[in-house]
Amino acid sequence: TIKYMLSSKLYVDGILDDISIIVEKNECNESDGCSVLDFGCGSGIIAYLLSHSFSKKSSYFAIDTDDIENDNGVSNPIDNENIIFAQSRLWEKIGGITNINFSHYDGRRLPYDDGSFDCIVAYAVIEHVGTNNIKNILIELNRVLKDGGKLFIFKFPRKLSYQEFMAKIMGVGHHSFTYSDKEAKVIFSEVFKVEEIWKGDMVFEFPPSFSNYLYWPLKWINYVLERTPFKVFSHHNGLALSKLN
C-alpha cells in the first residue's frame, strides 16, 4: 500500500533523490515554464512532488491507464474498478491543492497532442506494462515529447540485482521481469536516444520495521556501495532519454 511504502525512510529518500535528478538534468527553459507529464502516476505522489520542483509558470499533467494489467498482461475488472475509485479520490485531494491535471486513458493512445511536453517521468512503471507492449508505450511517449525534451525512466529492475534474487528465493514481492543493462539499452534505444544510464539502490528498503531501525547504517552502506564496483548488483537502472534526431 501507499502508506506502507512511504513509511520506509530509505524509500522516501530515494524518491526525493530522483526528483532532484529530474530537476538537475531537465533542460527546459523554466523562465517560460515547463510542461511536465507524470506517466503511470499511480497515487499521484510523484506528480505532487514534481509540481513543487519547477517554476510557478510550469504546467503539470498526470495520467494512468483505466485498464490495469498485471505483469503477465491479465486484467481484473473488479480490481480495476477499485483501483480507479481509490486513485480518483487521491487525485481529487491532490488536485485541490495543486495545478495538476489528472486523467485516465485506455492504455493505447495518450490524449495529448504531438510534442506536448518538455519533461516526461515514468517512475517505476515501464517494467509493469508487459514486455510485448513496452515499445508501443515508448512510441506514444516519444510522440508527445517535445523536440529537445527529456524522458526519465526510474527503477527499471536489473537482472543482476541481488535484492530481486533474494526476494524470489524467499517467495516475497519481486518483479516478474528484470533486464540486463544491455537489454535495457536495446529496449529504449529502439525509440529514443539514451543520454545516460545510472544504477541505484544497494540495500533493502523494506520492510520498514527493519530499514528504519537501521536507517543510518544502511544509508551509509548504500552511499559507499553505489560508488564501488559492487554497484553491478544494484537493484535498478535509471535512464535519461531524448528524441532521436
The mean predicted confidence, pLDDT, of the chain is 93
**30 CB-side CA count, 13 A:** 11
DSSP helix/strand/coil, 114? coil
Label residue 2 by pLDDT band (50, 70, 90).
Answer: confident
pLDDT at 212: 98
pLDDT at 30: 79
Tell me the sheet residues that pair with 224.
none
- What pLDDT, in 10s, does the model give residues 110-163? 999 999 999 999 999 999 987 889 999 999 999 999 999 999 999 999 999 999
Rounded to 10 degrees, what is the CA torsion of 11, 86, 156, 143? -130
Q: Is the pLDDT of residue 170 over 60?
A: yes
Q: Which of 243, 201, 208, 244 is nearest to 226 (CA)?
A: 201
Peptide bond into 111 cis (omega under 30): no
What distance, in Å, lies between the first and last C-alpha atoms of the chain? Answer: 41
Q: Which of 245, 235, 229, 239 is nearest to 206 (CA)?
A: 235
The stretch 77-90 carries a mean pLDDT of: 82
**Cell (9 digits) for 89:** 479520490
**Cell (9 digits) for 16:** 526525493
Cα separation, 116 vs 84, whole angstroms: 25
pLDDT at 72: 55
In Å, what is the CA distance from 185 to each residue of 2, 67, 190, 191?
A: 30, 28, 9, 11
Is the model's pTM score more than 0.85?
A: yes
Percent pLDDT > 90 in the chain is: 82
How buried is residue 108: exposed, middle or buried, by Cβ count under 10 Å (0-12/13-18/19+)?
exposed
Cα separation, 192 vs 182, whole angstroms: 15
The stretch 166-176 carries a mean pLDDT of: 92
pLDDT at 96: 87
